[in-house]
Structure 1
Amino acid sequence: MLTFLRYLVAAPLLVASAAGVPIACQLLSAYTLRRWRDTPFDVGAELTERLTEYDGFWPIPLALVLFVVLWRTTTVWPRIALLPSGCIAVGGLITAGFTELLSTVAALAAPLVAWTLAWLAARVVSRPVTGDVRRSPAEVGVRLRGGGRLRVQSRRLLLDKLPAPVHAAATVNRVALRFDRITHVEVGNALTPALWRFANSSELTVTPGPVLRIIGGGQEWLLPCDNAEELHRLVTERAAVRAQADPRPPLESSRWDLAKPLWSLNGDPAQRNTQKVQNGQHWLLVMSALTTAMALFSVYRVFTTSWGYLIGVALFGGIGYGTARAWWSFVTSQRLAEENPRSPLADDPDPRHLPVTGWSSSPVALGHMSDL
């Protein structure tokens, strides 16, 4: 019930970020134009005209759909909000030509305002981390000391924003661990700085202070974070509630093509990698969204203008479907590589061994934390 109320409060902020900000920016641009031409300005008529015509407003419904589809992935909400406001801002700058100060300022401020509103919505859903958040599927992002970010998702832990892998053969710059494969979680302390290498060969500096240690799926993570005890409780409680088995495909499947190069990364390479590994192939998803929107517009034109727009429906629809399918195929292989940077046949590290010099385990005191 509390989770529902959080989303109920966040919903107006998301709608305002995706629709309110770009519409307000467009209306302000229209107002300055009317004032420059010394013609009357009717808010209702202008709003109706812009919402009933194809005038660059297709990103708004697209962003709203993405919010619904990615309702659990709160860390991407600010980036989704940038889609409509960014498009409107570019159009506003071109229209204003940097001559209308008010329109120019509005166009520049629109993406910042939209991003902030979506960020606030994400904070409403994921903070503070009380019992309802720990048991919910809503993503919680945690910044780590020394770089990197842990994303506690619905079914897994995802570690991103890591330094570039030291091996050029590394195929992913993120690692993940499903809740059903976690075998050991403990809070410890690092007494001296240390360098920790993850299974994809990304290295993170473990600075002195509290550290969360997680073992499972053949991996061992050391996560330096100031709120290690709270994070320990979040991970263990969500794992107990949300863990779900996910059978892996046979090892001869082509879906392992991105994961298999990671299994043979051992030691330091002769020459360290200096290039950032690209992940996600987001350009395919963007192209699919753009061409799908154009296909839907062609469908609209078929019923309002001419049957000749069927060519646009077939062309843009085919491109949209093909790029979406290619993106999904890559994403499924990438997800498998992130969750299996070690071979499924590999054993888990022994939790009795000290992971780094200067490591000390510490008891976890949970009694003083609220369970609301």
Structure 2
Amino acid sequence: MRGLHDQEPVGGVVAARLRAVRPHLAAVILFGPLLGAGVAFGRPDFEASAATVAAALVLGGAGTAYFRSRWLRPRRWPSAAAALGVLSGILVGTAFPALIWLTAPLAAAVLGAAGWRIADLARGHVLEPYTRDLADSGVEVPWRARGTGGLELLVGSDRITLAGSRGRFRTVRPMVALSGVGAVEQVMVARRATLPVPGVGELRVTVTPGPAVRITVPPGEWIVPTDDGREIARLVARRKELAGID
């Protein structure tokens, strides 16, 4: 997968982590389409075989393009790999027309689960454990909020984002450019509260007692429950420094 790591310069520990996972992501992208193309050559129907091979090439090319564009966003790898595996499984299943009702769902489930697992391990290898080398890279770093059902604070090279896997956060993801981010500091929350997200009235964040990070953004502030407020503050400050933002 040459070129996947050329999106933005990274060095040291992070570069080594990215190099280590590149073969695994290549396998995720190419195995399904190659398997589909391989079984297609055994079909007696030339037109169907050619169509399957063409679909495999398109799928492999689309997967490669997607992962190149998301090379510095490991958080997105597992779901993308699972979707690619499901589509590859369906493609493999079509090579057995008489049993397609069985082979397509089975292959989709197996390849989808395998893709998710491999990409999830690759994601973890790049992001865990968190080290300060990540601040100097362009890798988007996700910080999971405490007790809020999948809510995460994403710190990219040029923006911060609130994203979640449940409720309105699945489709509405407030984003602020680093140039618009003010003070970032760890605070202590005394009691449970549900707070609105400034500028996005339909979104609420449930803050549980304990440490949290407070981020000044226009037109107010985000308060996200997390035990890693100090590390987040250092990360944002470093990325603003690298971007030349005062």
Larger Rg: 1 or 2?
Answer: 1
CA 1:223–1:131: 2 relative to 1, 3 Å: same
Q: Which residue of 2 aligns with 1:78?
A: 78
The amino acid that maps onto 1:64 is: T
CA 1:55–1:184: 2 relative to 1, 3 Å: closer
Secondary structure in 2 matching 1:188: strand
Q: 2:154 aligns with which of 147, 151, 155?
A: 151
Q: Is structure 2 residue 176 aligned with structure 1 residue 177?
A: yes
Shift of 1:88: 2.0
Q: Is structure 2 residue 219 aligned with structure 1 residue 227?
A: no
Q: What is the distance in 2 between the residues matched to 1:128 and 1:155?
A: 22
Shift of 1:155: 0.5
The amino acid that maps onto 1:155 is: D
Give the unaligned 5+ runs of structure 1. 35-48, 166-171, 246-372
What do the CA deviations read for 1:333-360 (whole angstroms, capped 9, x no partner)?
xxxxxxxxxxxxxxxxxxxxxxxxxxxx
TM-score normalized with structure 2 length: 0.77
The count of corresponding residues between Structure 1 and Structure 2 is 222
Q: What is the distance in 1 between the residues matched to 2:62 and 2:71?
A: 14
Q: Say whether the 8 Å CA contact 1:19–1:84 is kept in structure 2.
A: no
Q: Which residue of 2 aligns with 1:258?
A: none
The amino acid that maps onto 2:238 is: E
Shift of 1:137: 1.0
Q: Which residue of 2 aligns with 1:186?
A: 185
The amino acid that maps onto 2:58 is: W
Q: Say whether the 8 Å CA contact 2:193–2:208 is kept in structure 1.
A: yes
Q: Which has the higher contact order (CA 8 A, sep 6+)?
A: 1
Structure 1 moving runs of 4+ over 6 Å: none
The amino acid that maps onto 2:195 is: W
The amino acid that maps onto 1:209 is: G
Q: What is the distance in 1 between the residues matched to 2:106 and 2:87?
A: 15
Q: What is the distance in 1 between the residues matched to 2:16 and 2:175?
A: 30
Q: Which residue of 1 aligns with 2:29?
A: 18
Q: What is the distance in 2 between the residues matched to 1:119 and 1:150?
A: 18
TM-score normalized with structure 1 length: 0.53
Matches within 5 A, 1:106-185: 106-145=107-146, 146-147=148-149, 148-161=151-164, 163-164=167-168, 173-185=172-184
Shift of 1:74: 2.1
Q: What is the distance in 1 between the residues matched to 2:138 and 2:31?
A: 27
Shift of 1:206: 0.5
Q: Which residue of 2 aligns with 1:203?
A: 204
Q: What is the distance in 2 between the residues matched to 1:25 and 1:110?
A: 11
Shift of 1:244: 5.4
Q: What is the distance in 2 between the residues matched to 1:104 and 1:83?
A: 13
The amino acid that maps onto 1:164 is: R
The amino acid that maps onto 2:91 is: G
Secondary structure in 2 matching 1:137: coil
Q: What is the distance in 1 between the residues matched to 2:107 and 2:37?
A: 9
Q: Say whether the 8 Å CA contact 2:37–2:56 is kept in structure 1.
A: no
Give the unaligned 5+ runs of structure 2. 1-10, 44-48
Shift of 1:91: 2.9
The structure carrying a bigger strand percent of its residues is 2
Secondary structure in 1 matching 2:54: coil
Q: What is the distance in 1 between the residues matched to 2:176 and 2:105?
A: 46
Matches within 5 A, 1:57-72: 57-72=57-72
